[in-house]
Structure 1
């Protein structure tokens, strides 16, 4: 029997050990390959076969302590960062880029996939907001005569484009180019309305002007004026007011669609509470477009005088070169007070200024857009007279800083009005009601003119590039929830006495009354004697003082005048 020596044992052990070691390495290597294969397979399955685990899925998992909330949001909010929906457009390389396909909007072109629409309000009201009542006033000049084809032809020299809708299909005829992409985004908004309410847009034929200044005046001899749609009007003109292009985006100055920007403003309001903001009045814009803006710049702080205002000039050419890094509207909610002042006509900045939760110091305006007529001095904003801006701004800021609860409540009311009553759902409903009431006045049957072109989503979006296409797709409305989707109920028009007082409260004398009422309230609501205003009467609107009664759905406040 052979007795192994220590050297022999060590040698054989090494052989066995090496063999075992090599086998083990092979097993480990195979195990690692299997593990990687299983891991990759699970990743693929998790990505493509099952819904992701996120708050947006609505799924509940017992091992997650904090479950997604199922409660509706208290305010309607858009979701600008959502993934694109499955809806898309057809942009064919074989046909002209501005033509309509045989079966539009059916293919799946990821480059033209829109984001989902804004979420509807959680508790929609059966009646439209009160500013819808102005639809009746805008159309009143034709209520007795109707609108004939001859009247419409008189508006053609003033129009940028003509829109015709027959059996739900839109047609367009362009008369002349317009500034930037105003016409494109306005037409895009109308196309979204057709998507939102298919089959509910009546046959119509209208003329649209995309410039700033209203031009339609009452003709002599009792004749009816030419019907012309545009973005604003004043007390002397009869243009029909329609929502402006910026609700769907203004790419030239990097202003995103309203549903996206409204959400960004809400987030900015949450980030910086009102009391932590700079205690001054803020305005940023181009002062060269109107004399009233140039006059406002005199209220800026200097070494000799501080009117409690911080005013900044914008050069949009330079801002574009900087890629608009210093003009983000959501970043401008950092002051306690925001100044609104019109430009050459009304200003689209109105909704962005009011949406900041900061009380708006609203400089008396000549021009009104479709929604500003629903804003009430003393309720939604602090009115500033045209002829005494600096003193009035300083008075408002100093009073507000010493009465933070009252002035902050005003800012909240104005902001809530913008985010709720100007939600995109209501913008589309306003468009629908206005076009429906307009179509009732037509005394002829609309037909497609020979020089009109088919209008569709593809004809507008496919030729576009860059931010223009990006904003078009971002503002694209989804298909209606159901085929019988209904808009809010259009309220009745104003009584003559209501209109008279609504207009009076926004005059110079009415502005003084509102401001005096708010200041008087802070002094215990005592009657003023010898105030110098020489005004006694009633002002419609929530003026924070006096007694109120309901008249025609509006609030009437009886103000105390001099004894």
Structure 2
């Protein structure tokens, strides 16, 4: 079942008795795979002897691919466990924290712990009432049509939608030393817009950390949620080291690294074991509680859709 996930996986990682072993299938886009693996190694350093054995196939591409419809019915095969950065209601991919928590070299975004401290400082500079009363977004619009549509909401000679929307040219920005892309300096607007990229977007956590009102689509398709449980059958599975796997540790990754990759690794390296246990996860939903939660979610979505339609009707009446 695990091996069937290698059709699209970039790598297979086995954790056995607290040690990590890597089998690589295909290099990922940019350094997604590097910092995903780095994050797992830091988990092993923070909680030595406490991380259970694990056999994971990981796909570093955005879109989930394990379609739930392919695994329905009494005679359907078991879905292959494939980890990735996002999922949705139609797929069964297992969601894992994205690589940028440990640094996104290609956009000069620092590891989360260090960046969060900068964002907190940025929040203190301007109180919410003193911030610019606009909805702000800045990013790469080329990755999704919906982002190209968002650019039409920018201020023009005919309209001011109270939005300030900017296209980010990352190639030009890298050549100029990332002087116009400091996330901590962007917490000066009362409202921040979150919009997905080709799937979800890693920008969500940075936008929410600005303590501005976040505007987002309530029924966004790709979800970036942390895994809260696993099937009991996985707990009884004892992984074995793949024949082509090599052992992986923080030193073998960080020492030969260069430039920002090396800097971000050392900035996010766990220097010693934690003196407290990992956070406890809440129990899984009971069927009735899950049904209640889904009903509340559906009601909220329909309520917002009614407000949207009411607004459209008002605008239409004004135009006619």
Equivalent residues in 2 for 1:296-445, closer than 5 Å: 296-364=150-218, 365-370=220-225, 437=230, 441=234, 444-445=237-238
- The residue aligned with 1:40 is none
Contact 2:47 2:274 in 1 (8 A): no
Contact 1:203 1:439 in 2 (8 A): no
- The residue aligned with 1:225 is 79
**1:512 and 2:305 matched:** yes
Q: CA distance change for structure 1 residues 470 and 443 in 2, over 3 Å: closer, same or farther?
A: same
Larger gyration radius, structure 1 or structure 2? 1
Shift of 1:498: 2.9
- The residue aligned with 1:36 is none
Q: Distance in 2 between matches of 1:461 and 1:506?
A: 47
- The residue aligned with 2:315 is none
- The residue aligned with 2:277 is 486
Shift of 1:359: 0.5
Q: Distance in 2 between matches of 1:252 and 1:502?
A: 40
Shift of 1:223: 2.2
1:270 pairs with 124, 141, 150, which one?
Answer: 124
Q: Distance in 2 between matches of 1:440 and 1:247?
A: 30
Shift of 1:275: 1.6
Q: What secondary structure is seen at the aligned counterpart in 1 of 2:118? A: helix
Equivalent residues in 2 for 1:13-412, closer than 5 Å: 151-218=1-68, 219-220=70-71, 221-364=75-218, 365-370=220-225
- The residue aligned with 2:317 is none
Q: What secondary structure is seen at the aligned counterpart in 1 of 2:64? A: coil
2:246 pairs with 453, 473, 484, which one?
Answer: 453
Q: Distance in 1 between matches of 2:7 and 2:199?
A: 21
Higher relative contact order (CA 8 A, sep 6+): 2
Q: Distance in 2 between matches of 1:499 and 1:226?
A: 27
2:267 pairs with 461, 474, 493, which one?
Answer: 474
Q: What secondary structure is seen at the aligned counterpart in 1 of 2:216? A: strand
Q: CA distance change for structure 1 residues 157 and 464 in 2, over 3 Å: closer, same or farther?
A: same
Structure 2 unpaired stretches of 5+: 313-320
Cα deviation per residue 1:35-88 (whole Å; 9 max; x = unaligned)? Answer: xxxxxxxxxxxxxxxxxxxxxxxxxxxxxxxxxxxxxxxxxxxxxxxxxxxxxx
How many residues align? The count is 303
Q: Distance in 2 between matches of 1:511 and 1:188?
A: 41
- Kindly report the root-mean-square deviation, in angstroms, between the aligned alpha carbons of the 2 structures: 2.1
Contact 1:259 1:475 in 2 (8 A): yes
**1:497 and 2:267 matched:** no
Cα deviation per residue 1:471-525 (whole Å; 9 max; x = unaligned)? Answer: 011011231243xx32222211223313422542564x24336x68xxxxxxxxx
| Moved beyond 4 Å, runs of 4+ | none
Q: Distance in 1 between matches of 2:125 and 2:187?
A: 10
Q: Distance in 1 between matches of 2:233 and 2:46?
A: 21
Q: Distance in 2 between matches of 1:361 and 1:491?
A: 28
Q: Distance in 1 between matches of 2:300 and 2:197?
A: 18
Contact 1:204 1:439 in 2 (8 A): no
Shift of 1:234: 1.2
Q: What secondary structure is seen at the aligned counterpart in 2 of 1:206? A: strand
Q: Distance in 1 between matches of 2:103 and 2:145?
A: 27
Q: What secondary structure is seen at the aligned counterpart in 2 of 1:441? A: helix
**1:463 and 2:256 matched:** yes
Contact 2:87 2:223 in 1 (8 A): yes
- TM-score computed with the length of structure 1 as normaliser: 0.51
Contact 1:339 1:363 in 2 (8 A): no
Q: Distance in 2 between matches of 1:173 and 1:194?
A: 18
Q: What secondary structure is seen at the aligned counterpart in 1 of 2:152? A: helix
Residues 437-446 or 348-357, more deviating = 437-446
